[in-house]
Structure 1
Amino acid sequence: MEGFEEWKSQAEQWASQALQYIHQIPPNQLYAASGVLLFTILFLFFVRLFKRTKSNTIVLTGLSGAGKTVLFYQLRDGSSHQGTVTSMEPNEGTFVLHSEKTKNGKTKPVHLVDVPGHSRLRPKLDEFLPQAAGVIFVVDALEFLPNCRAASEYLYDLLTKASVVKKKIPVLILCNKTDKVTAHTKEFIRKQMEKEIDKLRTSRSAISDADIANEFTLGVPGEAFSFSHCYNNVTVAEASGLNGEISQVEQFIMEHVRP
């Protein structure tokens, strides 16, 4: 008890000295110091919060048959899994990219989700988009023209979702199967999809201003649509899932999940 009384007396003495010191500081300096201290505390809090909540989820999506599942396995273990059939349930896993496993230094595991492209299963996409750090929209460069309209409609719906627009989730349009001689180039695919989306935004806005399927509009009024007009960053790249030529995919992923 004697020790406690001694500690209490010392604490009261320190408090008294601190108050005397504070009273000697001019009010304007005291307010300034308090403001700096408060700003520093808030800044550090938000920095820690941002680091803690930064997502490592990458979503693979696109029409059925575009090669999403092959890409998933290439990224996971370097195997094409050529016997893979069209997915009816999302493939999901958290792992260090196969190409990163042999590198020295810090690597961050990626939470990769392969969402089926069948129209009836697309609502599952909404389960993963709120946590996505990036979206890879896979296009079949070999069979592009017959599927151009459908792929563009799907992409239009993706780019006008509130969960994508508000968080400005980056989107990579990945032209897959470009190793084939008859495959279309990424420049051709980009231009054709821009033209289709330009038609879509005109036709859909004419139907109703309250189109609940699309929460945001695309493009600049009076101008032909370009992906550069999107709220979020949209880029186009090439790959060949079966041959393991996926360096541009890996680069996109690591840019957005790296610690």
Structure 2
Amino acid sequence: MEHLLQHVEQWKGDLEKWVRQLPPEQLYTALVVLLLTVTFLLLGRLFKGTKSNTIVLAGLSGSGKTVLFYQLRDGSPHQGTVTSMEPNEDWFILHSESEKKNKIKPVRVVDVPGHPRLRPKLDEFLPQAAGIVFVVDALDFLPNCRAVAEYLYDILTKTNVVNKKIPVLILCNKTDKVTAHSKEFIRKQLEKEIDKLRTSRTAVSTADVTNEVTLGIAGEAFAFVQCHNKVSVAEASGIKGEITQLEQFIREHVKP
């Protein structure tokens, strides 16, 4: 140990001697290079280790977002839940993983109100999103198909969603009901509606369209596989607690 300390002291003395011999200009340059190197290394480690833990629930009012939120957190639908007028936001261990809570990373889940006047709040959370769950009422889908497609189109064409390639899960909720539409039917209908929307919106002058990117491939019928970010479709029943596919999506993008 003493031998090692002697070497350290010797190296320290040699370094001090070398520094004293440097001309002021070279010393200044060396210090600047050293500081920049340390700064870049620290920033690299910071950004590499910082991954988003936020999952955003979006969709029309009445689609069942809040019920899904409570199922994820508490394992209960909280019967009597009313339409949210403020975002529900919380950090928690998924209820299905509660027995392993000491080994599992918490998830930040944000349930954004679906009322048209409140949708701008979505933009507050998208920059931190690791994934977006777009909830669709599979039971009452056809009467709202156009409105659902418009809202989904708005999300898929946001520059921060596209540039960050934020994955989107179209979650067909209430599929426990006999008259609910299948996820394949909903996917095909949404693709058709979005195809119509992108044609009509392309006709609008670029001055009127802000924070949007072009969706799909020109000259081809729109399909979700054309999106820059991954778009998948799954089924769930918030009331029945059938949310396995939702939990799988969350854990795919927020690692435990």
1:115 aligns with 2:115: no
Deviations 1:143-201 (A, max 9, x none): 00000000000000000111211111000000000010000000000000000000000
Change (3 A) 1:18 1:82: same
| Other-structure match for 2:213 | 216
Deviations 1:3-43 (A, max 9, x none): xxx99983465449999xxxxxxxxxxxxxxxxxx99x967
Deviations 1:80-100 (A, max 9, x none): 011101111111100000001
| Other-structure match for 2:10 | 10
Greater alpha carbon shift after TM alignment, 121-130 vs 211-220: 211-220
Q: How far off is 1:137 after superposition? A: 0.2
Residue 255 of structure 1 aligns to which amino acid in structure 2? E
- TM-score, with normalisation over the residues of structure 1? 0.83
| Other-structure match for 1:145 | 142
- Rounded Cα–Cα distance in structure 2 between residues aligned with 1:231 and 1:196: 19
Aligned-residue Cα RMSD (Å) equals 2.7
Matches of residues 1-259 of structure 1 in structure 2 within 5 Å? 10-11=10-11, 14-15=14-15, 46-51=44-49, 53-103=50-100, 106-258=103-255
Deviations 1:83-141 (A, max 9, x none): 10111111110000000112377211010000000000000001100011100000000
Report if the CA contact (8 A) 1:157-1:214 is conserved: no
**Structure 1: tracts of 5 or more residues without a match:** 1-5, 20-37
SS of equivalent to 1:61: strand
Residue 180 of structure 2 aligns to which amino acid in structure 1? A
Q: How far off is 1:46 after superposition? A: 2.6
SS of equivalent to 1:55: coil
Residue 157 of structure 1 aligns to which amino acid in structure 2? D
Q: How far off is 1:48 after superposition? A: 4.5
SS of equivalent to 2:89: strand
Greater alpha carbon shift after TM alignment, 55-64 vs 7-16: 7-16
SS of equivalent to 1:210: helix
Residue 138 of structure 1 aligns to which amino acid in structure 2? V
Residue 248 of structure 2 aligns to which amino acid in structure 1? Q
- Rounded Cα–Cα distance in structure 2 between residues aligned with 1:8 and 1:238: 64
The ranges of structure 1 where at least 4 consecutive aligned residues each deviate by more than 3 angstroms after the TM superposition are 6-19, 41-45
Q: How far off is 1:211 after superposition? A: 3.4
Residue 171 of structure 1 aligns to which amino acid in structure 2? V
- Rounded Cα–Cα distance in structure 2 between residues aligned with 1:135 and 1:8: 54
- Rounded Cα–Cα distance in structure 2 between residues aligned with 1:114 and 1:228: 26
- Rounded Cα–Cα distance in structure 1 between residues aligned with 2:9 and 2:115: 75
- Rounded Cα–Cα distance in structure 2 between residues aligned with 1:8 and 1:50: 33
- Rounded Cα–Cα distance in structure 2 between residues aligned with 1:137 and 1:12: 60
Report if the CA contact (8 A) 1:194-1:226 is conserved: yes
Greater alpha carbon shift after TM alignment, 80-89 vs 101-110: 101-110
Indicate the percent of aligned positions where both proteins have the same amino acid: 71
Report if the CA contact (8 A) 2:216-2:227 is conserved: yes
Residue 219 of structure 1 aligns to which amino acid in structure 2? G
Q: How far off is 1:210 after superposition? A: 3.2
- TM-score, with normalisation over the residues of structure 2? 0.84
Report if the CA contact (8 A) 2:93-2:101 is conserved: no
